[in-house]
Structure 1
């Protein structure tokens, strides 16, 4: 065999992920709100994409004159976009437009009824949303009418401006800037005095003024000081209360006999002081400021019907996306430059792909959600105690999809049903072997039973983890003690010793 350079031709097959396929896979993992943001970006880049509805094109003139518009005959094989565009009929192709007269939509509440009334009166927005008279064509955002609440530091600075001036106001500004969101001072007074070049007693004096501001307890340097400020405000700060606040660690451990000896009070007085402390706010600064937590928006609605369960994608968070083919016909007729024609063709292909990709995404989500509802039907009927063990692989095999596709579909998606709002990942749980060896029980169902047993336990007979194991085994759940402890801790429930102390304190304060 001769050695030397040469050229060979070979044929091979391989799987290649095109950029469009990669983007379609990414779309599956996005929530409806993230899809809305993605579509908004595409609308800015592609002139052939339109977020408006086609209602305006369907309305005929209503000036009292009957008009008959002669429509060109369409052959049976003219359905594809390229054929229509070639004949100058690009606006006639709308394969993915929703036929509102043929679709059945679930009435989710007053919002849907308002939308139906708006459609009936012709007040339909370009994006398929509600339009109300006098609001510029869009439904008003009622949340925007709420005045933003001032933050804690703004609230304190308003009070400092009316009580202090000059150097004292400068010191107060420095101290207020170092108060955390919980209301505690996170600064070292000596370092602050050195930084400002003022005596330490001036900083302490200004701090005393700040600690008199609303909310009571703000500016404290420890929990005991915070509670002491509130006790002074309530005129309950006596020597006994001062000793109690100086020994909060004993109170946390439930060492009531030792506390009574330190404070020099009897059981009744100790119970009264504990009851007083429970009425104080350990984090007074949290009443102010902070951004409002955005509510979770469901991506799917599941509602019972006579035939079973109706599953619907939340269309309110999905923009209606159309390909403006009439605009394409108009542009293509006047374009002569080769580069411009190529760019316009790319825009059309990208727009067509995006519309179909979003349509396929919705179908995939519905398919996965339908299988989840079918597998966990007992949960929707009876509650979390009947949740079954379920894996991504089991759902993927049932609907003949890849496990990674199911994983992407269930990421960042929420399902709203009569029992509440749940993340789709919630329905995938590991299993615990049944005591009789027949099947398995969901870990979430076991947690539900543990929580119910602890919630109904006798304060004088606290259930240990070993006792919980026996009670669960009697219910048909074969579970180890360490697993009970793990589930209990994951739900934020203390041990039997901690619960005994907590209920003892509650009994004293009652």
Structure 2
């Protein structure tokens, strides 16, 4: 039997994403820093596209006032600290540094340390660079950093890496002996579970090494994470929200994004450059449209802090703006807005109610963080006590919900938050 060729006709549908559409999606989903890199790469390949550096000074971070007080040697007023959004890391650090009463180059370095602090509580820039900017020798900068780290509470703030963060906490608890130092210097082996190798290298008993590792695992790797719930990293935000004469206004942060300009006459690449300029303009317009819709629903949070955040979904914002929900999701991805209450991620302002008509989950986490920040360090609140306090404030939740949110905030359980002196006695 011989085979025969057959011709058939079939109909199918397929979504084809061309290069221009893919670029448009990438532009919309990029934050200011990522978009700047993308535009610089595009300009390097296309002579018809010029990228002009962003003008400096359009953004004054929320650190400005605390740092001004620091430079002038005045401690922030208690009411200003209390008014911060959540237990603010910024206000906490400003109070800490003001108490050290540094002067001159040392005060400038302290300011640099504060600005370099990541939400994790670690330093995000090398100490050598900060020392050079402040006009200090490396040894002098090390001495100032050591003084700041020693005064920091919780211990581990201003660490340069994970090992230093844990070392500071071990020293504060009083068990940083040579064996603990050796184990902390071998954290990759700790992560791999290579207890036998660590013991061999340190000429120690495996049981002793395992005991140190258990203590290390009880430390907090990100002591800064217990502060403001929706805080974005300390970098140039994409947007700025300010109260104007007619209410709250949202605008693009001109200092975060370079300006685009077409160059040259007709030629290869000019149409692509024009298309990219239109994409960026469309991205900016969409970002403003989405951000204004979000913040119009969160005026209470702008005025009172994250604790007043109301429940909100992306579907609501999509309906209000006439945009697709996926477009809203891309627009808020990695986007930060600077407000008088701190710099926030737009995505983290979306939060469903904990139950029924209750508060937003993010607001509840903020209230939880406030309670922990205000507790007696010698007698920290248990999860059950925290649940009772939240219920008394009008936010009834189960103890297991408190435990879940506490873990999300990076807050250790009560027995690990309890402060003890070097002899193991409870403080207070």
TM-score of Structure 1 vs Structure 2, range by shorter chain:
0.5 to 0.7
Structure 2 equivalent of residue 320 of structure 1: 259
Give the Cα separation in 2 of the matches to 1:476 and 1:181. 38
SS of match in other structure, 1:463: coil
Change (3 A) 1:480 1:15: same
C-alpha contact (below 8 Å) 1:388/1:441 kept by paired residues: yes
Structure 1 equivalent of residue 18 of structure 2: 18
Q: CA-to-partner distance for each residue in 1:193-218, whole Å, 9 max, x for gaps?
A: xxxxxxxxxxxxxxxxxxxxxxxx99
Structure 1 equivalent of residue 180 of structure 2: 222
Q: CA-to-partner distance for each residue in 1:449-469, whole Å, 9 max, x for gaps?
A: 223333444568653322332
SS of match in other structure, 1:393: helix
Change (3 A) 1:222 1:427: same
The CA deviation at 1:295 is: 4.5
Give the Cα separation in 2 of the matches to 1:181 and 1:492. 15
Give the Cα separation in 2 of the matches to 1:507 and 1:219. 19
The CA deviation at 1:353 is: 0.3
Give the Cα separation in 2 of the matches to 1:349 and 1:387. 45
SS of match in other structure, 1:328: coil
How do residues 423-502 of structure 1 correspond to structure 2 at under 5 angstroms?
A: 423-433=345-355, 439-457=357-375, 462-500=380-418, 502=420
Match status 1:400 vs 2:337? no
SS of match in other structure, 1:317: coil
Give the Cα separation in 2 of the matches to 1:459 and 1:295. 28
The CA deviation at 1:407 is: 1.5
The CA deviation at 1:223 is: 4.2
Give the Cα separation in 2 of the matches to 1:182 and 1:456. 28
Give the Cα separation in 2 of the matches to 1:486 and 1:425. 20
The CA deviation at 1:444 is: 1.9
Structure 2 equivalent of residue 381 of structure 1: 303
C-alpha contact (below 8 Å) 1:454/1:463 kept by paired residues: yes
Structure 2 equivalent of residue 280 of structure 1: none
Structure 2 equivalent of residue 37 of structure 1: 37
Structure 2 equivalent of residue 68 of structure 1: none
Give the Cα separation in 1 of the matches to 2:406 and 2:162. 30
The CA deviation at 1:486 is: 1.3
Q: CA-to-partner distance for each residue in 1:248-282, whole Å, 9 max, x for gaps?
A: x79x99xxxxxxxxxxxxxxxxxxxxxxxxxxxxx
SS of match in other structure, 1:222: helix
Gap regions ≥5 residues in structure 1? 54-105, 111-141, 156-179, 184-216, 227-245, 254-293, 330-343
The CA deviation at 1:352 is: 1.1
How do residues 83-94 of structure 1 correspond to structure 2 at under 5 angstroms?
A: none
C-alpha contact (below 8 Å) 1:300/1:313 kept by paired residues: yes
Structure 2 equivalent of residue 358 of structure 1: 280
- Larger Cα-atom Rg: 1
C-alpha contact (below 8 Å) 2:58/2:255 kept by paired residues: no
Give the Cα separation in 1 of the matches to 2:426 and 2:247. 52
The CA deviation at 1:427 is: 0.6
Q: CA-to-partner distance for each residue in 1:420-440, whole Å, 9 max, x for gaps?
A: 11111221223212xxx5x23
Q: CA-to-partner distance for each residue in 1:102-148, whole Å, 9 max, x for gaps?
A: xxxx96559xxxxxxxxxxxxxxxxxxxxxxxxxxxxxxx9796389
Match status 1:368 vs 2:326? no
The CA deviation at 1:50 is: 2.6
C-alpha contact (below 8 Å) 2:378/2:427 kept by paired residues: no
Question: How many residue pairs align between the two structures?
Answer: 283
Give the Cα separation in 2 of the matches to 1:303 and 1:500. 40
Match status 1:300 vs 2:222? no
C-alpha contact (below 8 Å) 1:459/1:503 kept by paired residues: no
C-alpha contact (below 8 Å) 1:432/1:478 kept by paired residues: no
Question: RMSD across aligned C-alpha pairs, in angstroms?
Answer: 4.4
Q: CA-to-partner distance for each residue in 1:158-179, whole Å, 9 max, x for gaps?
A: xxxxxxxxxxxxxxxxxxxxxx
Change (3 A) 1:348 1:477: same
The CA deviation at 1:489 is: 2.6
The CA deviation at 1:11 is: 8.9
C-alpha contact (below 8 Å) 2:58/2:254 kept by paired residues: no
Give the Cα separation in 2 of the matches to 1:11 and 1:474. 63
Give the Cα separation in 2 of the matches to 1:417 and 1:39. 27
Change (3 A) 1:109 1:457: closer
Change (3 A) 1:491 1:149: farther
Give the Cα separation in 2 of the matches to 1:403 and 1:485. 32
How do residues 208-247 of structure 1 correspond to structure 2 at under 5 angstroms?
A: 220-223=178-181
Give the Cα separation in 2 of the matches to 1:389 and 1:505. 47
